[in-house]
Amino acid sequence: MGTDPARNLSCPCPALRYSIPPAMAAVRIENVSRRFGATVALSAVTLEVASGEICFLLGPSGCGKTTLLRTIAGFVHPDAGRIFIGDAEITRTPPHLRGAAMMFQSYALWPHLTVERNVAFGLEEKKTPRAEITKKVTEILAIMRLSPLATRRIHELSGGQQQRVALARALVVQPRCLLLDEPLSNLDSRLRVEMRGEIRRLCKDFGLTALYVSHDQKEALAIGDRIAVMDAGILRQVGPPLEVYRQPRSRFVAEFLGETNLLEGRGDGSQITTPAGQFQTAATPPSGDLLLSIRPEAWRLTPNPQPINSFPGALVESVYLGDTARHRFALESGPILTIYELNPRPREISLSPTLYATVDPTDVIPLPNP
């Protein structure tokens, strides 16, 4: 079977990579609110995405992610607040004059047009001269390794090829920012991993400011420069992926982004007392009632007690998952922990001998407990 030339995206031609100049601009959202009847979709959302940055919008279904994206694109008008792209306020500017390109989950390609005509569509709508359209479409098809497919119709393409056509159509108009609404959700898992790295590379090569809606947390951690976690129309936390994952500021963020063990406790300014025992943290813990968030992969199981944050117990269940093992560990004090063992080694696991679950103070995160 021959190799599909449109699949090899790893090394675009350097001569073409920068021939379409970047036009990046910061995106600023100030106190934007939107209601649909009695439903609050956005509640005084304020967010700034730096020029050339990729910012992910994460949150459960119905939290307002897509509404925010469509508000920036101009398909939804806010009830209050302002939106800027660069120095220009575009809150009431028509969508086609905003300099933003949106890539939809469904790709929204024209089935009766060829690949090259789909890619050219936005330029034709802007009344771009025909010679310039031909030049730009030829360039972007080469960059995206779609040139051999230029005359095919959309129904003749695979899902991954359609995804690249939609991305090429968004990039060819030289947008000031790129808005992506779950663009990889229709692809199989292997192609999603391949394409998420490609999207990041293309955004950086084109100098694009990008806002990216996704349900895939690994996608956000792999591609995003920053992550904005939303809940019920409110931004709960914004920051670099490592910070948001390792230093969640609320129970919602800790539980939504990954998996965590939560223990109720009380701080006294020096340590935290919980039903599992006493914990030390890296920073001075707050006083009063709180929650401790400890990621499953932060725990280590050892046969001997350690000087701090070490708690006796026994394994009650172990599931081997290849790159990890998922343990349920019952502490002698009562609570049951979820513990991930990375790169588990073959061994005899007895369910009776005492082991110790140990965690570093830097991985013990105090949270408010309202």
Confidence band of 200 (pLDDT split at 50, 70, 90)? confident
33, exposed or middle or buried, with CB in 10 Å at 0-12, 13-18, 19+? middle
Residue 249 tokens read as 């500021």
Write b or e for each residue in 163-202: b if 16 or more Cβ atoms lie within 10 A of its Cβ, otherwise e.
bbbbbbbbbbbbbbbbbbbbbbeebeeebbebbbebbbeb
35-44, 233-242, 262-271: segment of lowest average pLDDT: 262-271
Q: Which pLDDT belongs to residue 8?
A: 39
Q: Which pLDDT belongs to residue 91?
A: 95
Model's pTM, two decimal places? 0.83
Cα angle, residue 246 at apex, residues 243 and 252 outer, rounded to 5°: 95
Q: Give tens-digit pLDDT for 233-248.
A: 999 999 999 999 999 9
In angstroms and rounded to an integer, the radius of gyration of the C-alpha atoms of the chain is 25
54-58, 181-185, 339-343: segment of lowest average pLDDT: 181-185
Residue 255 has pLDDT above 90, yes or no: yes
Name the residue with higher pLDDT: 178 or 189.
178
Q: 56 forms bridges with which residues in the sheet?
A: 212, 227
Cα–Cα distance for residue pair 362/365, rounded to 1 Å: 7
Q: 239 forms bridges with which residues in the sheet?
A: 227
Cα angle, residue 315 at apex, residues 314 and 318 outer, rounded to 5°: 175
Q: Give tens-digit pLDDT for 287-313.
A: 899 999 999 999 999 888 999 999 999
Please, are residues 54 and 225 in contact by the beta-carbon 8 Å criterion?
yes
Residue 351 has pLDDT above 60, yes or no: no
Q: Which pLDDT belongs to residue 4?
A: 40
Q: Which pLDDT belongs to residue 261?
A: 96
Sheet holding 27-36, edge to edge: 39-49, 27-36, 80-85, 88-89
| Sign of the torsion formed by the C-alpha atoms of 133, 139, 143 and 146 | positive
The average pLDDT across 319-327 equals 88
CATH architecture of 14-246: 3-Layer(aba) Sandwich (3.40)
Q: Which pLDDT belongs to residue 311?
A: 94
- Its CATH class, for the domain covering 259-368, is mainly beta
Q: Which pLDDT belongs to residue 270?
A: 83
316, exposed or middle or buried, with CB in 10 Å at 0-12, 13-18, 19+? exposed
The average pLDDT across 205-231 equals 89
Q: Which pLDDT belongs to residue 7?
A: 37
Please, are residues 143 and 16 in contact by the beta-carbon 8 Å criterion?
yes
Domain with CATH 3.40.50.300 in the chain: 14-246
Q: Pairing state of beta strands 54-58 and 209-213?
A: parallel
Q: How many residues does the chain have?
A: 370
Cα–Cα distance for residue pair 322/344, rounded to 1 Å: 8
Closest to 206 (Cα-Cα) out of 54, 47, 7: 54
Write b or e for each residue in 278-313: b if 16 or more Cβ atoms lie within 10 A of its Cβ, otherwise e.
ebebeeebbeeebbbbbbbebbebeeeeeeebebeb
Domain with CATH 2.40.50.140 in the chain: 259-368
Q: Which pLDDT belongs to residue 9?
A: 39
Residue 289 tokens read as 């009632």
Q: Rounded to whole angstroms, what are the CA distances from 138 to 100, 117, 170? A: 22, 11, 14
The DSSP symbol for 66 reads H
Cα–Cα distance for residue pair 53/90, rounded to 1 Å: 19
Average pLDDT, the chain: 86
Percent of the chain at pLDDT above 90?
A: 45
Confidence band of 350 (pLDDT split at 50, 70, 90)? low
The average pLDDT across 33-40 equals 94
| Sign of the torsion formed by the C-alpha atoms of 243, 249, 251 and 252 | negative
Helix (H) or strand (E) holding 273: strand 272-274
Residue 102 has pLDDT above 70, yes or no: yes
Q: Give tens-digit pLDDT for 109-165.
A: 888 889 999 998 888 888 888 999 999 899 888 888 889 988 888 888 887 788 888
